[in-house]
């Protein structure tokens, strides 16, 4: 009885289909899948740990109960550092870059990630995620910050894992967007959403209305326009991966724009906006800062923030039109 198309098998077939894609992806992704399964296990029992950890931070095994962001970060570092495919890693949870030094063989890729996105939602059992982006080392790479400062258009792969009612692994290597759902009974990610295409226009907008007083005119007028025009619904979970994934499948627009409080926006360019922008463009959508295509923003520092308007192409274009007119 076939268990269906596993992520590993799909990657191998993709590698055969596109001769220029080296076998490294398959091995790299396989290590990342292990990290995803570990994080999924920890996220799913987080509530339990909290109960068991009520004695002041020690769980029943006497281990220090770590914040899940740090735990997820460690899980990715530990599963990815020995594979021989990476020269280094950068993460939301680490100030500087993590070099693959002499300890393990050094590869030609760089991995950037947000190990746990939406972590403020963990203790109220709302979906969270992991976001990742892969770059190739440029000639002369000595794995310092500057090697990671490549525009989103340079990404060779990107994706996310969504820990929700089920755990999903969604990725692109530039040949479409494909989604896999974890079947815990066999411990495999099985193909569930092949070649995802996002609707040209949606009926959902996602923005934190708690920031209304800080919005600049272009945002306020656009949201007002949506509300008066009707036929649209608001959905905002507060976990970027969850909000993005819902809009990717159903259509719609997510906005975390620049405002008077966050002049450069809140979300990080290299390991939140760029990977999701690669995904959405491969699915036929769009992603903008309001003024420019996110994937063309030249990064100047590792943890740089960016405004983000992402989702269905027609919705993003309309939101950007209101944004620019609001500045006129």
Under the criterion CB under 6 A, does residue 240 sit at the interface with ligand AHG? yes
Quote the tokens at residue 250: 């159903």
Cβ nearer to ligand AHG, comparing 188 with 272: 272
Binding partner selected for residue 238 from Mn ion, ligand AHG, none, CB under the kind-specific 5 to 8 Å limit = ligand AHG
Cβ nearer to ligand AHG, comparing 118 with 285: 118
Binding partner selected for residue 21 from ligand AHG, Mn ion, none, CB under the kind-specific 5 to 8 Å limit = none
Binding partner selected for residue 239 from Mn ion, ligand AHG, none, CB under the kind-specific 5 to 8 Å limit = ligand AHG
Cβ nearer to ligand AHG, comparing 19 with 210: 210
The answer to whether the beta carbons of residues 122 and 72 sit under 8 Å apart is: no
| Footprint of Mn ion on 96-115 (CB under 5 A) | 114
| Footprint of ligand AHG on 140-169 (CB under 6 A) | none
HEC sequence for the chain? CCCCCEHHHHHHHHHHHCCCCCCHHHHHHHHHHHHHHHHHHHHHCHHHHHHHHHHCCECCCCCECCCHHHHHHHHHHHHHCCCCCEEEEEECCCCCCEECCCCCCCCCEEEEEEEEECHHHHHHCCCEEEEEEEEECCCCCCCCHHHHCCCHHHCCEEEEEEECCCEEEEEECCCCEEEEEEECCCCEEEEEECCCCCCCCCCEEECCHHHHHHECHHHHHHHHHHHHHCCCEECCCCCHHHHHHHHHHHCCEEEECCECCCCCCCCEHHHHHHHHHHHHHHCCCEEECCCCEHHHCCCCCCCCECCEEEECHHHHHHHHHHHHHHHC
Cβ nearer to Mn ion, comparing 92 with 259: 92
Site string for ligand AHG, 177-216 (x = CB under 6 A): -------------------------------x--------
Task: Find the part of the chain contacting ligand AHG (CB under 6 A) among 46-54, 166-174, 235-243, 283-291.
Answer: 235-243
Number of residues forming the site for ligand AHG (CB under 6 A) = 11
Task: Find the part of the chain contacting Mn ion (CB under 5 A) among 92-100, 164-172, 210-218, 251-259.
Answer: 92-100
Under the criterion CB under 5 A, does residue 117 sit at the interface with Mn ion? yes
Binding partner selected for residue 284 from Mn ion, ligand AHG, none, CB under the kind-specific 5 to 8 Å limit = none
Task: Find the part of the chain contacting ligand AHG (CB under 6 A) among 38-46, 113-121, 138-146, 221-229.
Answer: 113-121
Quote the tokens at residue 190: 């099985």
Under the criterion CB under 6 A, does residue 118 sit at the interface with ligand AHG? yes
Give residues in contact with ligand AHG (CB under 6 A): 92, 114, 117-120, 208, 238-240, 266
């Amino acid at each position: 009885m076939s268990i269906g198309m596993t992520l590993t098998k799909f990657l191998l077939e993709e590698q055969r289909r596109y001769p220029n894609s080296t076998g490294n992806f398959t091995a790299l992704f396989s290590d990342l899948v292990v990290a995803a399964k570990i994080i999924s296990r920890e996220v799913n029992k987080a509530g339990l740990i909290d109960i068991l950890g009520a004695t002041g931070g020690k769980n029943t095994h006497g281990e220090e109960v770590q914040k899940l962001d740090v735990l997820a970060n460690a899980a990715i570092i530990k599963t990815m550092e020995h594979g021989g495919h990476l020269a280094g890693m950068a993460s939301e949870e680490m100030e500087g870059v993590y070099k693959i030094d002499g300890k393990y063989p050094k590869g030609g890729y760089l991995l950037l990630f947000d190990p746990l996105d939406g972590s403020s939602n963990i203790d109220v059992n709302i979906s969270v995620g992991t976001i990742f982006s892969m770059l190739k080392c440029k000639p002369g790479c000595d794995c310092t910050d500057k090697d990671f400062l490549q525009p989103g258009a340079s990404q060779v792969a990107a994706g996310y894992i969504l820990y929700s009612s089920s755990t999903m692994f969604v990725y692109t290597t530039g040949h479409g967007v494909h989604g896999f759902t974890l079947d815990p009974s066999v411990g495999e990610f099985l193909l569930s959403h092949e070649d995802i295409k996002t609707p040209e226009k949606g009926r959902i907008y996602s923005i934190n209305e708690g920031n209304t007083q800080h919005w600049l005119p272009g945002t306020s007028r656009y949201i007002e326009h949506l509300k008066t025009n009707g036929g649209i619904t608001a959905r905002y979970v507060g976990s970027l991966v969850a909000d993005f994934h819902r809009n990717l499948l159903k259509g719609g627009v997510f906005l975390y724009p620049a405002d008077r409080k966050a002049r450069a926006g809140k979300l990080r360019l290299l390991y939140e906006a760029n990977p999701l922008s690669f995904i959405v463009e491969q699915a036929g959508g769009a992603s903008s800062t309001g003024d420019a295509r996110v994937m063309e923003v030249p990064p100047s520092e590792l943890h740089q923030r960016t405004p983000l308007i992402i989702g269905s192409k027609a919705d993003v274009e309309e939101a950007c039109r209101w944004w620019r007119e609001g500045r006129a």
